[in-house]
Chains A and B, each alone.
Chain A
């Protein structure tokens, strides 16, 4: 469903990715490990369409969305969900409005049904829909961010260090939860993180990003 070929990105003078290669079938969860500054977030942003490249290709469901130095399909049209490191929940919207943001064009009935489904899936009590993000705990915000990314039924979800601001007590149970949710929705996902334990709990396959590319992939059993 996702194929990345020889992706090369430089930010200013610095070469961040060089000939990065990755293939992913539908439903797989991949984790990419890397130190800060290793280029893992840049790689995610290029797949999402938030960042253009110097060379390489990104194919989504056999469509070339990034070819060479051209961003062919804007992020709006890629059908990729993303959970940001800071969650990026809209502070002026309630939980409900945040989750429904991406499916505003659906009918009211469908929207409400999807909202109920997602609240149950991420295990948030229904009465929380009227709260604002700042009225939630870090873990709850994380769940809302995941529900929001999943709402439009994307084929692929990108997770940009979404657990890094949680304490270890909440973190690992939540990692397991997220895995359950992703598998239940049958959606592919790419997690970038610097935490090996987190990657091992969540992913089917792990690669370490070093000097702009992943040399070997390791399958998790």
Chain B
């Protein structure tokens, strides 16, 4: 084995370590706890998780696919605006949307109060049942399906649709027999992302008192003080995520879905009632998923500003930004290292592809689980290290590792490296070997090739990766919550703490701060993508 591959394996192993730490928990069986768990929590947890996943698959899958199809294949008033307005819910952390919807539509909220006063409407508790949680996840996560399905529809050659037309297929026939099957892998990949995000969520389900894997994991740790138990439940969750991915890969079989040319102009021009229906539907989606939550936050922030705002907020913002930027740079650096090592082995080197894939596994691990696993390991490490230092050198005991930001950054890196690898790998793929060869025939040395060929081609990918990781880190809640140094807060933590106590109006201020930063970043990504 060469040195490059060895280094690649080492880095990948470090990144995937939290997943294996979690799996190792089975070495310490918790039979008593499991027996108790099987009697009480297991069945409702599994049922809830299953219903939730099914509901979100249908909700986000249908909505994301329908919107992507509309903006790529149909022309209607406002299409160009909606094309990127549909991305906006990306900047809303799920737990923010959850508390805004709760504030608006819950038992004592303005909507039900109004209906009750005007029409003697019987008040209902939207926290009970499955529907409200499914609606929140659909509203927040449909952009994943939308984004990938859009690429799926756009990459379909125009001539395929025209061939179907000349063979007598109706517009509906073209959609069902050609467009949709061709976009299927993209749609399924989008849904897989949504399901992983849903499985990993802690904020929404805990605000809705909805028991799923993450709340049970949290309860195993918090109520039963069993790290092992928490990790064991978590490893089941990882298994579920891996299963999702395997099913999708297997499903593809030998068929291919990629074509090279892209669809520049939408082929179907909608007219009259159909056009306005499309515009109306698109507008309604943007209103409900973005305008309504942000509008409500603005109203609350306006009311609370005087009372809530103080210099402390500058610290929160600085902390959030600092974490986001540091983690973003780290992730980009490590991803660059991994990909350079991978492509130096050749474009289709199976072993290095496997190790890069393995390094991304942390994405399937919810932040809370990763945090618990890491806390445990670093606590053991600290203890061993300190015992040794004290015994050998008589050095005073202080927490070396587990108290600082290092562990938190490691958790982010392990969890979000996949987010960085995605866009950067795309950029690496676009570099044809002939580019490099052409540069070499013109007398360019290794450094010149790197500086004048590789870097400019990879740079947009690097920038997009950096921005995406930064936003994800700033929005991230459970790992930050559990691993941050004592008393060290960020905007996300503040939002969650206030939101969980029902202080929605006060939570609006940090939430808006977070959204504003994310919006700026999303705008940056869009600009860079246009350049690419």
Interface residues of A (CB under 8 A from B): 48-50, 74-82, 84-86, 88-93, 101-102, 132-135, 148-149, 151-152
Given contacts A77-B168, A85-B159, A91-B255, 8 further A-B contacts (CB under 8 A): A76-B169, A84-B159, A84-B162, A90-B178, A91-B258, A101-B177, A102-B167, A132-B254
B165 touches A75 (CB 8 A): yes
* Cβ A92 vs Cβ B167 within 8 A: no
Alpha-carbon separation in the docked complex, A85 to B158 (Å)? 12
Chain A residues contacting B170 (CB-CB under 8 Å) are 76
Chain A residue nearest to B178 (CB atoms) is: A90
From residue B128, how far is it (CB to closest CB) to chain A in Å? 43
Q: Are B255 and A74 in contact (CB under 8 A)?
A: no
Of A74, A86, A149, which contacts B159 at CB under 8 A?
A86
Write out, one digit per residue, whether chain B residues 164-187 have a CB within 8 A of any chain A CB (1) or not (0). Answer: 111111100000011001101000
- Count residues of B near A (Cβ-Cβ below 8 Å): 23
Question: Quick check: B168 and A76 within 8 Å, CB to CB?
Answer: yes
Q: What 8 A-B pairs are tightest by C-beta distance, nearest first? A: A102-B167, A88-B159, A88-B163, A75-B165, A82-B166, A91-B256, A92-B255, A84-B159
User: How far apart sit A85 and B261, CA to CA, in the bound complex (Å)?
Assistant: 13
Whether A152 pairs with B165 at a CB distance below 8 angstroms is no
Complex CA–CA separation, A89 to B178 (angstroms): 11
Assuming the contacts A86-B159, A88-B159, A91-B257, asked whether A149 and B166 have C-beta atoms less than 8 A apart, the reply is yes
B166 near A80: Cβ-Cβ < 8 Å: yes
Please state if A101 and B182 are interface contacts (CB–CB under 8 Å).
no
Q: CA A1 – CA B178 in complex, angstroms?
A: 31
Contact B168 A88 (CB under 8 A): no
Q: Which residues on B are within 8 Å of A, measured CB to CB? A: 157, 159-160, 162-170, 177-178, 181-182, 184, 254-259
28 residue pairs bridging A and B, Cβ less than 8 Å apart = A50-B165, A50-B166, A76-B168, A76-B170, A81-B166, A82-B162, A82-B163, A84-B162, A86-B157, A86-B159, A88-B157, A88-B159, A88-B163, A89-B163, A90-B160, A90-B163, A90-B178, A90-B182, A92-B182, A93-B255, A102-B167, A132-B254, A132-B256, A134-B256, A135-B254, A148-B167, A149-B166, A152-B168
- Is B162 in contact with A101, judged by CB distance below 8 angstroms? no
When C-beta atoms are compared, the residue in chain A nearest to B171 turns out to be A76
B255 / chain A contacts, CB cutoff of 8 Å: 91-93, 132
Q: Say whether, besides A91-B257, A92-B181, A92-B257, A75 and B160 are in contact (CB < 8 Å).
A: no
Are the C-beta atoms of B157 and A76 separated by less than 8 Å? no
Closest-CB distance, A181 to chain B (whole angstroms):
18
CA–CA, A72 to B415, complex, Å?
A: 57
Asked if B162 contacts A50 (CB within 8 A), the reply is: yes
| Inter-subunit contact A91/B162 (CB<8 Å) | no
Which residue of the partner chain B has the closest CB to A134?
B256
Inter-subunit contact B168/A84 (CB<8 Å): no
Closest Cβ of chain A to B211, distance in Å, is 40
Give Cα A50 to B166, complex, Å: 9
A81–B258 CA distance with the chains assembled, in angstroms: 24
Residues in chain B near residue A148, CB distance under 8 A: 163, 167
Residues of A within 8 A of B168 (CB): 76-77, 79, 102, 152
- Report the Cα distance A97→B289, complex, angstroms: 41
**List of A residues within 8 angstroms of B182 by Cβ:** 90-92
Q: Which residue of A lies closest to B158 (CB)?
A: A88
From B165, B166, B167, B257, name the one whose CB has the most chain A CB atoms within 10 angstroms.
B166
| B residues in contact with A101, CB < 8 Å | 164, 167, 169, 177
- Give Cα A91 to B256, complex, Å: 5
Residues of B with C-beta under 8 A to A81: 166-167
Q: Shortest distance in angstroms between B177's beta carbon and chain A's nearest beta carbon?
A: 7
The reply to whether A92 and B256 contact each other, CB–CB distance below 8 Å, is yes
Closest to A148 in B: B167
Chain A nearest CB: distance from B173 CB in Å?
Answer: 8
